[in-house]
Chains A and B, each alone.
Chain A
Amino acid sequence: MTTMTCAEATELAGLYVLDALEPAERALVDAHLATCTEAHAEFMEVGGVVPALATLAEPVAAPDSLKAKVMADYRAGAGVAAPQPAPFSRRSVIRPPASVVQAPVPVPGLRPSRPSWLGWAAAAAAVLLLVVTAGWAYTAQSRADAEAHRAQVLAQAINIMSSPRSLSAVMHGAAQADGARGFAAIDRSGVGYLVLVDLPAAPAGQAYQAWYITGNQPTSAGLLSLEDGGFAVLNLSMQGTVDQVALTLEPAGGSAQPTSNPILSGELTAHA
């Protein structure tokens, strides 16, 4: 077995933290890190990014039967839990970068704020990419203009969300809108946006219509036009108190009053 220089170990930091080294090479890196007097901060730097990659996978509910298996494993083997914490483990050198582990700062009387690294504008721009590409595998260059427009709208919506006395609603679809989700954000003057993603195309001859709901009384907020990737944005402008924003399927052209039950709705809640 040969030994490894600091420079060679450094080169392998990315593959190491992704567990993508062949065992022999990993062993060389481990041996180097265990004996080297250098801090090798680059391992911490790249290692801090790895957990973020996990968020790229959409949560998917596991089948109910899986829980029974997990619990059965536990009943069968709970006595053999490793009793001793490892005093110093291979990866203990990889500490999270401070900016990534930074906990949300609680503001008295308010909800915790977003961590600083998650720039709202970047997030908004990226929502589009998500929507358009359903992943990060490619970018659609030809859609750059549409994306830029969407990014602008989303950035505004997100600005509203974080403005004083704004209202927002988180929304999940059901029935024909199953899988759709998004949010409504309305500023203190009643103006804002409804932003939805993963909305299936409306059945032929029908359209999605949004409603402001006050008590039991719906008022039309307008028809939604669906863009690529099930993405939809609607400008909202409401008067007086509104409890909920809801979506129904209506005959193309819309209705004066809903003719079907909401397939997506969210309760407006004061924020910040």
Chain B
Amino acid sequence: MSGPGNADAADGEHSSGPSDEALLERLAAGADEGALSDLYDRYQAQMYGLAMRITRDPALAQDAVQEAFVGVWRNAARYAVGRSSVRTWMLSIAHHRAIDIVRRRRPADTLPEFETADPALTTPDVWPEVAQILDRAAVTAAMVGLPRAQRDAIQLAYFEGLTQVEIADRTGAPLGTVKSRVRLGLLQMRRALETGEAPS
């Protein structure tokens, strides 16, 4: 069985060594290169993969991850235990930085300074590879179950960093429609993920 020793699967899945929370606490407490190094090893692939998906450019994705780690150690003390997993917190920082970079390349405003964690999605520490495939599959199922217009609007916002106005321009939909597509789409995804039922 693949386990924490597997380089691919080990990302974010570790049954030995200090917990993510303990590493973050060490970072918050003061200079601790070992803690940062461990967190990097655990999450670089997920963060870089997300940044690649958003920026579609290795150099930009690397910039995003590099900036994200600055955000991680600068804000380690702000991480609120229990509100979200460290993994979620770090991924949301990486997302934020990648979107920021994508937007900087367009004539648009930069984002407000990142403040705190997005909510949690915990991943069970079991069968790392299968779990990853299936987690992604469940989210994919929820996404695929959405009406096309809702799916597109969410994708344009999350993976391409478009703002409300830009989404309206791109899709030709009125602003009010964009608002409701994103909101209703996220609500429907949430219901699909909660019930675990295949979306209709």
Contacts and interface: CB of A to CB of B under 8 A. Distances in A.
Smallest CB-CB A-B distances: 4 pairs:
A119-B196, A96-B119, A126-B141, A14-B183
Contact of B115 (A50, A75, A91, A117): A91
Contacts of B136: 55-56, 58, 130
A59 B45 contact: yes
A127 B182 contact: no
B138 A123 contact: yes
B193 A53 contact: no
Contacts of A126: 137-138, 140-141, 144, 198
Interface string B43-58: 0111111101110001
B182 A119 contact: no
B80 interface: yes
B14 interface: no
A25 B164 contact: yes
A160 interface: no
Contact of A127 (B2, B83, B84, B134): B134
Nearest to A81: B74
B121 A55 contact: yes
B157 interface: yes
A119 B192 CA distance: 9
A203 interface: no
Nearest to B165: A22
Contacts of B83: 92, 95-96
B-side interface mostly: helix
A172 B8 contact: yes
A71 interface: yes
B96 A104 contact: no
A63 B135 CA distance: 25
A122 B194 contact: no
Contact of A55 (B11, B74, B135, B192): B135
B23 interface: no
A86 B78 contact: yes
A183 B182 CA distance: 35
A103 B11 CA distance: 19
B78 A78 contact: no
B142 to A, nearest CB: 8
A32 interface: no
Given A81-B74, A168-B127, 8 more contacts: A11-B183, A55-B121, A55-B139, A58-B136, A81-B75, A97-B119, A100-B190, A119-B198
Interface of A: 10-15, 17-23, 25-26, 42, 44-63, 66-67, 69-71, 73-75, 77-86, 89-92, 94-97, 99-104, 111-127, 129-130, 133, 135-137, 139, 158, 161, 168-172, 181, 183, 197, 266-267, 269
A118 B66 CA distance: 32
A1 B133 CA distance: 47
Nearest to A169: B1
A136 B194 contact: no
Nearest to A18: B157
Nearest to A197: B133
B169 interface: no
9 contacts: A63-B62, A67-B44, A71-B36, A74-B70, A82-B75, A95-B119, A121-B196, A172-B2, A172-B8
Contact of A15 (B46, B54, B139, B182): B182
A85 B77 CA distance: 6
Contacts of A18: 154, 157-158, 182, 186
Contacts of B88: 51, 54
Nearest to A67: B40
Contacts of B61: 62
Contact of B73 (A58, A78, A85, A124): A78
B49 A59 contact: yes
B121 A51 contact: yes
Given A20-B163, A45-B187, A53-B139, A122 B116 contact: no
B132 interface: yes
A78 B125 contact: no
Most chain B beta carbons < 10 A, residue from A47, A56, A58: A56
Interface in B82-104: 83-84, 88, 91-92, 95-96, 99
Nearest to B189: A49
A89 B53 CA distance: 28
Contact of A57 (B52, B96, B176): B52
Given A81-B28, A96-B83, A136-B151, A266 B196 contact: no
